[in-house]
Amino acid sequence: SAVISQKPSRDICQRGTSLTIQCQVDSQVTMMFWYRQQPGQSLTLIATANQGSEATYESGFVIDKFPISRPNLTFSTLTVSNMSPEDSSIYLCSVEGVEETQYFGPGTRLLVL
């Protein structure tokens, strides 16, 4: 399985600021995904990020709020912009691994005050 790391692992931020979350994979992958998991809730897909193309956002998520970069096949960033307390969540990246299964990183726990 792919080894995925995320930075930061957790952060406490003030409203109105922005945070960039990094996702690093130990092998080259075509598709990377960003999910949000609100406290005690399930996972909701934010966007799909393929290298060399614009990210594809799900309904309810917009690029201005969650800009994504995918500069190469092992790395991606998600920025949470102009944060409010409602953005407090766990943000998870995932990648397509062997046999097309999907593996998740450990997550970034964000608290917005």
Partner 1 sequence: GENVEQHPSTLSVQEGDSAVIKCTYSDSASNYFPWYKQELGKGPQLIIDIRSNVGEKKDQRIAVTLNKTAKHFSLHITETQPEDSAVYFCAASIRPGYALNFGKGTSLLVTP
The binding site for partner 1 (CB under 8 A) comprises 1, 4, 31, 33, 41-45, 48, 58-59, 92, 96, 99-107
**CA–CA separation, 22 vs 78, rounded Å?**
7
* Nearest residue (CB) to partner 1, 14 versus 99: 99
- Burial grade of 103 (CB within 10 A; 0-12, 13-18, 19 or more): middle
CB of 17 vs partner 1, minimal distance in Å: 24
18 with 80: CB under 8 angstroms? Answer: yes
* Nearest residue (CB) to partner 1, 82 versus 101: 101
CB of 60 vs partner 1, minimal distance in Å: 11
